[in-house]
Structure 1
Amino acid sequence: MAEPGSPLAPSLCVDAISAAGRWHTGYVPLSAFPPSILPAARRASAFSGIPLDHLMVTADADAADPGEAAAEDGVSALALAALGGDARDEPLFFVRSGPLRDAMVAELAGLVHRFRWKGDDMGLTHLEELGGILVLDLIGWAVPAGATVLICDEPLYADARAGGARFSAVALRLRRGSGPLQVLDCGEGAPAGAADSAGHLFTGRGPCDAWLAAHRALAAGQVTAGDTLLLHTKGPRREGWLTLRATDPARLRLPAPA
């Protein structure tokens, strides 16, 4: 994990960003579970800010509502499909913010099979809300010429008053050398001096939030060459940041969010 001011592996850049999102209602109330879940539910209530009386837990894919049937593409598949398959010989890194909704389904293996991915594949967990930030530091040594990073956020808990939660995924195409968005630095904790030098600040609570905001700004033409972007994630447990420099944003591929 990089400390503030410690550079990442040199010449890592982002060539393309795709995104997908879907409102998910396949949650069930705590009353559907045995009392043994209460200690974990109380902890979830404390860090999420959702009152225990309104806390819901995501259902297994098999138990989801018919409208959200497993036959539908998940957000990870949608984001990866939007990015395109021109780099299937390169490594694929799949980053999840939490556990699989269905422990009997190996989602990464399913994606590899569906998209006929030929490169190495690796799943990364336990980065929690910082999965979209720290992953670029974590895998920096493992990107030879290029790689694809797929970041998935499917909240385990939701507020019954909202009726569900948003599932999101962001796919990044990384390259060595110069590119549209140059990766500068990242770290855990408050961004400190990075916030003062950034021309654009994108923030959020989840691992995909800052990337989604940056995607929208880039697609709208709000970022110009030479601008510095600060992606800041401040979740219930952890805080982290990532800085990028827009060297040639016009060359960045930005498939429309699904």
Structure 2
Amino acid sequence: MCGRYSITTAPEAIRRLFAVSDMINLEPRYNMAPMQRAPVIRERDGARHMDMLRWGLVPSWASDESRAASLINARSETVAEKPAFRDAYQKRRCLVPADGFYEWRKLGREKQPYRVSLAGDRPFAFAGLWERWSKAAEPVETFTLLTVEADPRIAHIHHRMPVMLAEDAAFEAWLVGEPPARASILRAYNGEDLIFAPVSRRVGNVRNDDAALLEPVPEPEAPVASDAAPPAPRQGSLF
């Protein structure tokens, strides 16, 4: 899954890359977290517009917002079938600007965060879906990120990764393309400019949102496997 990402690129560079007709004056975010508001790009009236939506999808038919935190990601393999996502997949797709995302690698009993990005911190977009929930006093607009099996280069960190789109042809295919074109881009990013590095565990705290989170730290040592045989289960144990 993808549970944190960064978007620190200058607004003018984002406007040029995504050909947005009306930009928001964005502040750098080094640790975007679920249930926070983030910029997304949607197609309306033949033009691309940027809006601020909350991360964590609330389907339009939901009785309340309680599942939002568990719907920050949608599996690409089943997105066209799952009730929570299928209508948005057909009608409400969006681009979510980013310049990196974080995944946690399990090392023994510890978890080490890594930042995955493109060389030079080149901005890109996640493939996203959005919804409008109208059962509150004010309509609530939310989004989720699509994920796929991770590229082999980063599969040792986590077995899933978000769908990364880096070129305008992919942006166009996702926003307004026909189903075959959309399906063709729902795959792991395999460009040679994909890079990753361990970063500070401070990123695990949503209160930390500063440039130091992007800085690489020394690669942690993997725990040494023990040659000792595991203890035999006690009588009556389920394992």
Does the pair score TM above 0.5? no
TM-score, L = length of structure 2: 0.26
More strand by share: 2
Structure with higher Rg: it is 2
More helix by share: 1
TM-score, L = length of structure 1: 0.25
